[in-house]
């Protein structure tokens, strides 16, 4: 059973999302929170697989909340909820560790598909936002000094799968390994590249000038 928590300050939207989550086979809503502060205090105790996070929250923003939760729960997946396609804010959320985003005005079925995609290891986002993210990381990489990271051959293969947009299961099938093995390699990759999400790892890999390939 996939455990999902929701951080959303609008009472009606929060209740609707909880109802939607409960309607998805294999998913359960383990908690709903009206503020980032409440989420940070209580979500770690619930150890959910996914948090649906409103980007615009009072006081502590969804971006700040995402960053703090990822520090406490590195494996946690975060799906950003937003009203507008604000490229800068969505990019900041991805840098903070979010794995994707969905517009609040999306059809219920589209939200369900985004939830399923992110739980499967994907990163749901529109092509327009994905392009902005890629461009931003490329600019950062171009301005940064050359960097050598000692990645193993298998870690490079996993990163190549991420760069192609493959989910964990697809990478596992392609490499003839288990999904848990892919997740273990991802954890090592995040530590070596100093990133917090698969999107940032893939884009940093694409922009890296020198990758040391070990065994």
pLDDT digits (tens, 9 = 90+) for 138-197: 665 555 544 557 889 899 899 888 877 788 888 999 999 998 999 899 888 888 888 777
Q: What is the pTM of this model?
A: 0.69
Helix/strand/coil for 150? strand
pLDDT at residue 214 in the model: 53
Mean pLDDT computed over every residue of the chain:
85
Write out the two tokens for 23: 């309607």
Q: Does the structure show a pLDDT above 80 at 65?
A: yes
Q: How confident is the model at residue 64 (pLDDT cuts 50, 70, 90)?
A: very high
Q: What value does the mean pLDDT take over residues 96-121? A: 89
**In this model, does residue 199 exceed pLDDT 80?**
no
Distance of alpha carbon 101 from alpha carbon 124, whole angstroms: 6
Report how far apart, in Å, the C-alpha atoms of 31 and of each of 5, 10, 46, 47, 64 are: 5, 15, 8, 10, 19
To the nearest 10°, the Cα dihedral for 19, 30, 94, 154?
-120
pLDDT of residue 142: 56
pLDDT at position 210, please?
47
CB 29 within 8 A of CB 4: yes
pLDDT for position 55: 93
Residues with Cβ < 8 Å from 192, sequence gap 6 or more?
149, 150, 151, 155
pLDDT at 68 over 90: yes
Residue range 78-92: mean pLDDT, rounded: 84
């Amino acid at each position: 059973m996939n455990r999902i928590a929701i951080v959303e300050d609008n009472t009606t939207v929060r209740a609707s999302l909880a109802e939607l989550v409960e309607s998805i086979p294999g998913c359960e809503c383990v908690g709903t929170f009206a503020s980032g502060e409440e989420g940070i205090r209580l979500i770690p105790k619930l150890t959910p697989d996914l948090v649906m996070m409103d980007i615009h929250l009072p006081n502590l923003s969804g971006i700040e909340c995402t960053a703090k939760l990822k520090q406490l729960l590195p494996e946690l997946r975060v799906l950003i909820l937003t009203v507008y396609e604000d490229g800068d804010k969505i990019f900041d959320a991805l840098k903070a560790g979010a794995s994707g985003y969905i517009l609040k005005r999306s059809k219920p079925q589209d939200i369900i598909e985004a939830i399923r995609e992110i739980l499967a290891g994907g990163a749901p986002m529109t092509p327009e936002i994905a392009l902005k993210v890629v461009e931003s990381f490329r600019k950062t990489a171009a301005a940064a000094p050359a960097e050598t990271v000692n990645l193993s051959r298998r870690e490079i293969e996993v990163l190549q799968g991420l760069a192609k947009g493959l989910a964990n299961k697809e990478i596992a099938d392609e490499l003839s390994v288990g999904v848990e093995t892919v997740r273990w390699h991802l954890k090592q990759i995040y530590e070596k590249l100093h990133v917090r999400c698969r999107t940032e790892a893939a884009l940093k890999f694409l922009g890296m000038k020198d990758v040391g390939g070990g065994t």
